[in-house]
Amino acid sequence: MHPRSSRRVLLALAAMVGVACAESSKTTSTTSSTTTACVATATNGAFFDLRPDTAIRAEEGVKTPKGVPTEDYVARGYDYGANFTLNVCNAVVKGVKDVIGVEKSSWKNISAYYETHGKLYSLGSQSGTLVPRGKKLVLQYSGGSPCGDSKGKVKRGGSVHDGAAYRGYRDDDDEEDEKHRSKTSKDDDQKKPGSDKEKEKEKEKEKEKDKDTSVRRKSATISFLCDRDPDVVTAISFVGTDPDECAYFFEARSQHACAGAEPHKPGSVGPGSVFAIIFFIAILVYVVGGVFYQRTVAHARGWRQLPNYSLWSGIWNFLTDIAIILTSSCARFLPSRRGYHTLSSSNGRNRNRDDENRLIDQLDEEWDD
């Protein structure tokens, strides 16, 4: 075969190696891009998994795995006047009812709340989105109970509008909007009579939208810190709240908040698999390229076409000699060999006794004579 053909084959094998590496990197990138609840990967590659800290409901007759929490976390409010109940990345295990300002259908999704004066206030619905910020992890719940009567508009300076002045400002806009709507509605009535019901429904929807966007709701932000002490149980403590009592801040210490290595996901190509693929492809390139070189350049035939034939044959001869030595040394201890030795030794002893007896008899005869 011509040397040019061997070069083409080597280039084709090198291209196969590049394609394999590209496919493996593509697979790992696609699998890492998928998000999992209560799991986060920082920009520096640090992996965080807080799923072991999520409290689950203990079912009757089912054994709960060891180390898995089955009760909600309680944070004492101290000077706030109320204690807080929370869960990590999931709704609270203990069901809640009659939550202020939250629809009944959303009660089962509440992840943080507190109770005061017989009223229960939500601090937000469940969320599994973890945000790594340096050495800390941040988990935020939003969409809780309404907080105060303010409409939530903030000036550029950062302070909340005064209630009365803000309501007056809203009333002026509402009056202008109503005048404009009344004019347009009259024109529409003249053009399209009999559509009053549809217009009323649209007005009610717009009012509900304005009402929903204007109401501020309570939220909870939990900052997780790494604690490598295995004996410390995950605990959440209350830090504080803003003056409007809308944003509540908590701090949690957990060993699961420490950065670790991302585990291998099923269906993806891990680092070990990538190394194995590259290794076997390299061996294939070595063998095929060596065979083509020995055949075309050195004009070798038979087993001598293998690359570094003398080296591999020497290693093979050495291994075969070691195997022969071991088998021969072990064969000495076999039972058949032992029986043969004892038989030969017994025959020798009998022969020596017969010779001795003959010699004694001969001496006796000479003595008698």
- Judge whether 188 and 252 are in contact, CB under 8 Å: no
The C-alpha angle with vertex 54 and arms to 52 and 60, in degrees rounded to 5, equals 100
Please identify every stretch of the chain with a pLDDT value under 70, giving residue numbers as ranges: 1-35, 149-197, 199, 203, 205-214, 263-270, 335-351, 367-369
C-alpha of 295 from chain center: 51
199-to-189, 191, 206 alpha-carbon distances in Å = 10, 14, 11
Q: Round to whole Å and give the CA distance between 125 and 148.
A: 19
Mention every residue, 6+ apart, whose C-beta is less than 8 A from residue 224. 50, 136, 137, 138, 139, 252, 253, 254, 257
Q: Residue 308 in contact with residue 21, Cβ under 8 Å?
A: no
Position 162 scores a pLDDT of: 39
What gap in Å lies between CA 73 and CA 137, rounded to an integer? 17
Which residues in the chain belong to E strands, given as ranges?
39-41, 47-49, 73-75, 84-86, 110-116, 119-125, 130-133, 136-141, 219-226, 235-241, 247-254
Please, which residues have CB within 8 angstroms of residue 332's CB and are 6 or more apart in sequence? none
pLDDT tens column, 38-47: 999 888 888 8
- Cα gap 187→108, rounded to integer Å: 47
The structure's pTM equals 0.53
Helix (H) or strand (E) holding 344: helix 335-368
